[in-house]
Amino acid sequence: MIGRAAFAATAFAAALSPMASHAETVRVTLPEAVERALSEGTADKLAALRVDEARTGAALASAALRPRVDVSVSDVNQSLNLKTFGLTFPGFPSVVPPFNVFDAHVAASMNVIDIAARRRSAAARQRIRVGEAERERSDSDVAAAVASLFLTIRRADSLVDETEANVKLFERLRAEAAHQQEAGVGTRLDTTRADVQLSRQRQALVAARNQRDAARLALLHAIGADMGDDLVLVGAPSSPPPAIPDPEEAIADARRLRPELRSADEELTAAEMLVSAAKGERLPKLSAQFQGGYNGNYLGDLSWTRIVGGSLAFSVYDGGERAARLAEARRREEELRIERRELDRQIEEEVRRDILAYRSAASRSELAEESARLAGDELTFATDRFVNGVSSDVEVDNAQTSVAAARDARIAALADQEQAWIDLARATGRIREVIEKENP
């Protein structure tokens, strides 16, 4: 059985070795990760397709205002039954014998004046600007999501480093407890307690590494890299500014920079154009037509013929269809106005809430730094007292627990402050600006 297990393990490792050999090391800064996510990510590609769709719609709407030219050529041999036209002549057959007809003509037409069509075309072109604003919004969301993943990995890396430091610390303390027991100063209970503390830290280290690896997979997915690649973050994070932004200035920036508001404004403009187009349907339409060509029985006896004309058309009664379309367009316009006002209030609330969150995170970060320093001093004093036989290992265990908790709290507080700054940058529309300031 042992031989089979060893053979299976060897075969499995050999099968995986080609996969491992193809793994590459991906080194990215935060700005590079965002750019890769925007170029390779699904969200940006879908947003680009929606812009292209809007351009296609604008081209279709504009086609109604452009000239239309058709060319036709026909050569037929036919016979006619005069009775179908109500024609009968005594002594003449009712069916005309077969004869040739050749016809080649070109026909052109154009809507010279069509106010409704022009306004619909303008509204369709406005949809392009709506799509571009939506793509900008998608880019902002992707940038914020990638930045959050980047911060999550940094936090996980810091937690792994801190936990590894805790493991080394508890290994030294466990060795000291074993030394005290051998010297007859300590007890087996002291060594057991040290073993328990060390085991807990090793378990925490496994959990921290798993959290880091999961976050790396998420970022590899976001930037379109191979999931088997080794991800390395490059560059030190830029420190969030200690000053809290003024709420009114931040709200003004958000109203000026947030792509959601721009998209809502462009959408509302398009709706207003559609209302105007619906009103224009009651106006007359003027069109011009031309048709000219050669026709005859044979190619040798062709003659030129033409038709030139114009038409003026307007609707007298359409059963209420035009009024219904106008009412629908006005209802959509009012819906967008309400949504625009609500969006403005939501963004103001978001900015104010994120400012409060950032202020709280900055305060907790300062307190966590102070707590970590004090916990370190406590552990130093407790260790000295234990080594000198002044106190028991319980005091050292409590100090160890305080140090581990203080380090975790410091990492969490710093990460929360960075995340709060990213959230505030997104809320004010400055997420790309903040990301570009990351130190290479």
DSSP letter string over 21-74? HT--EEEE-HHHHHHHHHHH-HHHHHHHHHHHHHHHHHHHHHHTTS-EEEEEEE
Average pLDDT, the chain: 81
- Given its phi and psi angles, is residue 3 left (phi above 0), alpha (psi -120 to 50 degrees) or beta? alpha
DSSP letter string over 4-24? HHHHHHHHHHHHHHHHHHT--
- The closest of 356, 334, 335, 338 to 346, measured between CA atoms, is 338
R_g over Cα of the chain: 39
Rounded to 5°, the CA angle 242-243-247 comes to 135
Return the amino acid letter for 86: G
Q: Are 138 and 316 in contact (CB under 8 A)?
A: no
pLDDT above 70 (res 158): yes
Q: Are strands 285-296 and 230-233 parallel, antiparallel or unpaired?
A: unpaired
How many domains does the chain fold into? 1
pLDDT above 70 (res 23): no
> What integer pLDDT is reported at residue 151 of this predicted model?
85
Residue at 44 is within a domain: yes
Q: Are 35 and 222 in contact (CB under 8 A)?
A: no
* Region of poorest pLDDT, from 37-46, 55-64, 155-164: 37-46
Q: Give the domain range for residue 372.
A: 24-74+127-258+330-436
Residue at 310 is within a domain: no
Residue at 308 is within a domain: no
**What does the pLDDT look like over 196-246, one tens digit per residue?**
878 888 888 898 889 888 988 888 888 888 888 888 888 766 666 667 788
Rounded CA-CA distance 268/276 in Å is: 13
Q: Are 143 and 34 in contact (CB under 8 A)?
A: yes
Q: For the domain that residue 134 is a member of, what is the CATH number?
A: 1.20.1600.10
Confidence (pTM) = 0.69
Three-class SS state of 97: strand
> What integer pLDDT is reported at residue 340 of this predicted model?
92
pLDDT above 50 (res 15): no
pLDDT above 60 (res 8): no
Between 302 and 404, name the one with better pLDDT. Answer: 302
- The closest of 63, 248, 16, 36 to 146, measured between CA atoms, is 36
- Segment 120-146 shows an average pLDDT of 87
Structure tokens at 294: 């050669």
Three-class SS state of 415: helix
Residue at 184 is within a domain: yes
**What does the pLDDT look like over 309-343, one tens digit per residue?**
888 887 777 778 888 988 998 999 999 999 999 99
Q: Other CB atoms closer than 10 Å to residue 91's CB: what's the count? A: 4
pLDDT above 70 (res 124): yes
- Segment 68-82 shows an average pLDDT of 85
Structure tokens at 361: 């995170």
Residue at 281 is within a domain: no
Residue at 247 is within a domain: yes
Rounded CA-CA distance 417/132 in Å is: 32
> What integer pLDDT is reported at residue 224 of this predicted model?
81
CB neighbours of 81 closer than 8 A, spacing ≥ 6?
A: 94, 95, 96
Residue at 250 is within a domain: yes
- Distance (Å) of CA 427 to CA 113, 261, 354, 376, 431: 46, 12, 8, 38, 8
Q: What percent helix, strand, coil does the chain show, rounded to 5?
A: 70, 15, 15
Rounded CA-CA distance 132/36 in Å is: 19
> What integer pLDDT is reported at residue 237 of this predicted model?
60
Residue at 167 is within a domain: yes
The count of C-alpha atoms lying within 13 angstroms of the C-alpha of 167, restricted to the half-sphere facing its C-beta, is 15
